[in-house]
Structure 1
Amino acid sequence: MSARLRGIAKHTQEIVEIGHYFASDGRRVVIAPDLAAALEGTRMYGPESVPVTPDSDRTTVFDVTGESSTQAAQRLTAADAAPVAVLNFASARNPGGGFLNGAQAQEEALCRASALYSTLLRAPEYYAHHRADRDPFYSDRVIHSPGVPVFRDDRGQLLDAPYTAGFLTSPAPNAGVITRRTPEQAHRIPAALAARAERVLETAVATGYRRLVLGAWGCGVFRNDPGAVAGAFHALLTADGRFAGHFEHVVFAVLDRTPEGSTLEAFRRAFAGQLRP
């Protein structure tokens, strides 16, 4: 745990509570109206299937990049005003994971950069279910947080111009725990990933998004195989997949800090036939 990150988290929550902050030039930047709308609009979907009818009338642009989720969201937002949804690689039992304690993973980074944490507190039933049910497969529940103000960069610096992004909060199965404690159940992991990815995409369709930031979901501490995660999304988003042609732009933002870059490479291999030259 990092004392510096814990301090940023504390300051982020102070900004959320007062509804504004000051930019580098001294301007007062107000986020209160966007925050109020995000809190009011937060809903949980699933675990049952979300009734949607994806269309297939567009050619989806796919990118696999080495940037963070917020870098990708900011880039897409700067290019076009249409809303962007970011997949939050969530803790099933604790809102924001270890955000308040200075932990460093994707969910914690999202919460430090934005008002996401406060919206997650609006879905207590999601966390209550997973705390009561200790199954490391977790469930197909998804929290949608619309139009959340994002006001920090990856270094923790406040943005002179904040932007908004939707967040889809869903836990991947905890493959590490499953294979260690109940190895006889490990064969169920690919199907669980596929079903959960489908629920995430259903929620994105139901809430009106055409642009998504996905990534190496559950490939860190949860130890899911990057190829399996990439494959689950590839099957749903390409060729005869249920969501093929529905989304305009899908970015797999894979911030891979390993020397060999194997996680990023797994996504590039999976989408090699769809990436722009």
Structure 2
Amino acid sequence: MSSRGGSSSNNSRGSDSRGRGGGRGRGGGRGGRGGGRGGHPFFRKHVSAARQGLVDISKETRAVLPGILRDLPHLHADESELWSLDALAPLSPSNCPKHPRKAVVKVVNEDSYNAALQLAQAAGSSTPQQSQQQLQTTPASARVAVLNLASDKNPGGGWLTGAMAQEEALCYRSSLALSLHKRYYKLQSLQGIYTPDVVIIRSAVSSGHALLLGTPGFASPADLPVVSVLSVAALRRPERRSVSAAGAEEGEEPEGPEEPVEGEEQTTTPEDEEKEKAAAKAGGKEVFARAQDRDLTKAKMRLCLRMAAAKGHDLLVLGALGCGAFKNPTEDVAACWAEVLREPEFQGGWWREIWFAVYDRKREGNFEVFEQALGGLEV
């Protein structure tokens, strides 16, 4: 069963593995590593200013949303549903829309909302302005469903305190946080939140985070694009092991428990970086050390797909679940997605388009890994 809307207690991110550490290296976020540089005062000052700027963005987003939403009475940005995998039966072929053409997976190095807007335009063969208006006026099931790489602890992760990862980026740009009610948290291992009406009000951070209203194509709130969002949390820092290119085990890398830091921001330590470099130099890769962690990750992926299909979505923007600061093994996560998408349950015409938004602005390799594992896969 699903559970609707509401508000209340609890909070936490990722799911049922290790907490977020302090650490020095490449600063934080689940969707990729930011830019910390140790404890040097210059970098502390720079990071502090950047975080304060994002805190200000968060405040402005919360301030302008009520006025925007008053002009959009047909949308209900604060409504959402809490779903559990055990309440979602495997997809039944009798309910399948049976799209005649198989969906061909496309991997893009792009912000998730930007990817969704591009996908909406590509699927609708319309101008950007027309596709944005269609997103708002069509039923939720006709919209693009975007995967939010969510916190299992804190609604919106650290978006109120200036953190920046994929979930925070979505909240800075949209009404998403209004639907992430406190009573849902702590999310259990196989729970997710479905938000049908998410209004996008800003450009991406790479474009200055500007408010869209008043810019060309966005004369009024009725011009703002709307998507639906699936919020699912990844495992937190699961144990990993390295294997050689030939598949031989190179040894385990147990991850000790780490305490979360304020703002849901996770950093990568120099030790993490050295282990990654050593594995790459050896021509190997990292995989889940424990079979149960791999199985749980695949179950989370099934949750994403069943939620989307149950709500009639056939245009999906998925992502690199747990492949940022949660330190899930990138190659194995991409392989898990490929395995799940190939399962008979998800074949047969459920999807028109499946895109993966793997924003790899630091060129750390996540995009290439997902492109190699998933690009061109027919579902």
TM class, shorter-length:
0.7 to 0.9
How big is each residue's C-alpha offset from its partner over 1:232-254, in whole Å with a ceiling of 9 and x where there is no partner?
2212223x442123111011011
- Which position in structure 2 is the counterpart of 1:96? 156
Q: Which has the larger radius of gyration?
A: 2
Q: Quick one: which of 95, 99, 103 aligns to 1:60?
A: 103
Check conservation: 1:34, 1:149, Cα contact below 8 A: no
- Which position in structure 1 is the counterpart of 2:346? 243
Check conservation: 1:44, 1:144, Cα contact below 8 A: yes
How big is each residue's C-alpha offset from its partner over 1:66-125, in whole Å with a ceiling of 9 and x where there is no partner?
01101101112334243111000001010000001111000000000000001112xx34
Distance apart, 1:175 and its partner CA: 2.5
How big is each residue's C-alpha offset from its partner over 1:207-235, in whole Å with a ceiling of 9 and x where there is no partner?
11000101112111111112222222212
* 1:202 aligned partner, one-letter code: R
Which residues in structure 2 correspond to 1:136-151 (within 5 Å)?
139-151=189-201
- Which position in structure 2 is the counterpart of 1:118? 178
Which residues in structure 2 correspond to 1:196-207 (within 5 Å)?
196-207=300-311
Check conservation: 1:16, 1:115, Cα contact below 8 A: yes
* 1:165 aligned partner, one-letter code: V
Check conservation: 1:34, 1:147, Cα contact below 8 A: no
Does 2:110 align with 1:50? no
- Which position in structure 1 is the counterpart of 2:115? 72
Q: Secondary structure of the residue that 1:168 maps to in structure 2?
A: strand
C-alpha distance in structure 2 between counterparts of 1:193 and 1:49, whole Å: 18
* 1:148 aligned partner, one-letter code: V
- Which position in structure 2 is the counterpart of 1:152? 202
1:272/1:63 CA distance change after superposition, 3 Å: closer
Does 2:218 align with 1:169? no
C-alpha distance in structure 2 between counterparts of 1:192 and 1:139, whole Å: 8
C-alpha distance in structure 1 between counterparts of 2:337 and 2:238, whole Å: 20
Greater displacement, 224-233 / 88-97: 224-233
Distance apart, 1:19 and its partner CA: 3.1
Q: Secondary structure of the residue that 1:235 maps to in structure 2?
A: helix
Does 2:256 align with 1:181? yes
* 1:194 aligned partner, one-letter code: K
Check conservation: 1:175, 1:186, Cα contact below 8 A: no
1:96/1:272 CA distance change after superposition, 3 Å: closer
Distance apart, 1:38 and its partner CA: 3.1
TM-score (norm 1): 0.83
Q: Quick one: which of 58, 61, 64 aligns to 1:9?
A: 58
Check conservation: 1:176, 1:221, Cα contact below 8 A: no
Q: Secondary structure of the residue that 2:226 maps to in structure 1?
A: strand
C-alpha distance in structure 2 between counterparts of 1:198 and 1:241, whole Å: 12
C-alpha distance in structure 1 between counterparts of 2:106 and 2:321, whole Å: 16
C-alpha distance in structure 2 between counterparts of 1:34 and 1:171, whole Å: 29
- Which position in structure 2 is the counterpart of 1:24? none
Greater displacement, 204-213 / 44-53: 44-53
Q: Which residues of structure 2 form unaligned runs of 5+?
A: 1-47, 125-133, 135-141, 213-217, 241-253, 258-287
Check conservation: 2:103, 2:354, Cα contact below 8 A: yes
* 1:53 aligned partner, one-letter code: S
Distance apart, 1:190 and its partner CA: 1.0
Quick one: percent identity of the two aligned structures? 33
C-alpha distance in structure 2 between counterparts of 1:118 and 1:104, whole Å: 18
1:12/1:272 CA distance change after superposition, 3 Å: closer
**RCO (CA 8 Å, sep 6+): is it higher in 1 or 2?**
2
C-alpha distance in structure 2 between counterparts of 1:177 and 1:17, whole Å: 43
C-alpha distance in structure 2 between counterparts of 1:14 and 1:254, whole Å: 30
Check conservation: 2:116, 2:317, Cα contact below 8 A: yes
C-alpha distance in structure 2 between counterparts of 1:31 and 1:142, whole Å: 29
Does 2:256 align with 1:256? no
Check conservation: 1:31, 1:149, Cα contact below 8 A: no
C-alpha distance in structure 2 between counterparts of 1:4 and 1:100, whole Å: 11
Q: Secondary structure of the residue that 1:139 maps to in structure 2?
A: coil
Q: Secondary structure of the residue that 1:167 maps to in structure 2?
A: strand
Q: Which residues of structure 1 form unaligned runs of 5+?
A: 21-29, 131-137
Q: Secondary structure of the residue that 1:181 maps to in structure 2?
A: coil
Check conservation: 1:175, 1:189, Cα contact below 8 A: no
C-alpha distance in structure 1 between counterparts of 2:74 and 2:189, whole Å: 29
Aligned residues: 251
How big is each residue's C-alpha offset from its partner over 1:246-266, in whole Å with a ceiling of 9 and x where there is no partner?
11101101101233x411111
Distance apart, 1:49 and its partner CA: 4.3
